[in-house]
Amino acid sequence: MSSFSTAGGGVKAPTALLTGRRTQGSTVGELGATRTGTIRYVLAAGTTADAVNVTGSGVWHMGYFQTDVTSTTATVTVTIDGVQVYTETAGNIITSGMLQAGAFFFDYVGSEATLAYESVPFNKSLVINVSCDVEAYYYYNYYLT
């Protein structure tokens, strides 16, 4: 039985995700999506919005929030199956984005990206809400099951 399983209950969604995880190296704009195989959501400066709002079951592989200019306040909240599992506020996320799922590193010298997807299950819904004082980008990847 995998760690995601419950006896007779199928795949169990997480009830908490670790905060304080960061990407290494700034890769924003379309280039960020290309290097990570993700979808890019553009958040207007000084706003709050759901970057992801999915109903159904699936697996979330990658999620990180980053800017290409100095920011002072950025917040990400993740709700899985109606349970808030992550909320974090950070200051400057220009070269060290806030990472919720997966891992990402960009080597400026060699212009190479290294990434790893995670498998974060959701059974009913996945909602990722973001806010920032400057224009920011949320990168994500999931599939429905």
* Residue 52 C-beta-side C-alpha neighbours within 13 Å: 32
Cα 15-16-20 angle, rounded to 5 deg? 170
Q: What is the pLDDT of residues 8-46, one digit of tens each?
A: 456 899 999 999 988 876 555 566 677 777 888 999 999
Q: Which domain holds residue 100?
A: 16-144
Q: Is 118 a residue whose pLDDT tops 70?
A: yes
Contact, 32 vs 139, CB < 8 A? Answer: yes
Contact, 18 vs 76, CB < 8 A? Answer: no
Give the pLDDT of residue 1: 40
| Distances, alpha carbon 95 to alpha carbons 34, 75, 92, 106, 109, in Å | 17, 16, 8, 10, 15
Q: Is 3 a residue whose pLDDT tops 80?
A: no
Counting the structural domains of the chain, the total is 1
pLDDT-above-70 percentage for the chain:
81
What's the mean pLDDT in 74-80? 97
Does 5 reside within a domain?
A: no
Give the pLDDT of residue 114: 73
* Residue 16 C-beta-side C-alpha neighbours within 13 Å: 3
Does 4 reside within a domain?
A: no
Q: Which residue has the higher pLDDT, 115 or 27?
A: 115
Does 37 reside within a domain?
A: yes
Identify the CATH number of the domain in which residue 73 sits. Answer: 2.60.120
Does 36 reside within a domain?
A: yes
Least reliable range by pLDDT among 18-27, 59-68, 80-89: 18-27
Element (H, E) at 105: strand 103-107
- One-letter amino acid identity for 71? S
Does 1 reside within a domain?
A: no
Give the pLDDT of residue 86: 97
Does 31 reside within a domain?
A: yes
What's the mean pLDDT in 68-84? 93
Mean pLDDT over the full length of the chain: 85
Does 120 reside within a domain?
A: yes
Does 7 reside within a domain?
A: no
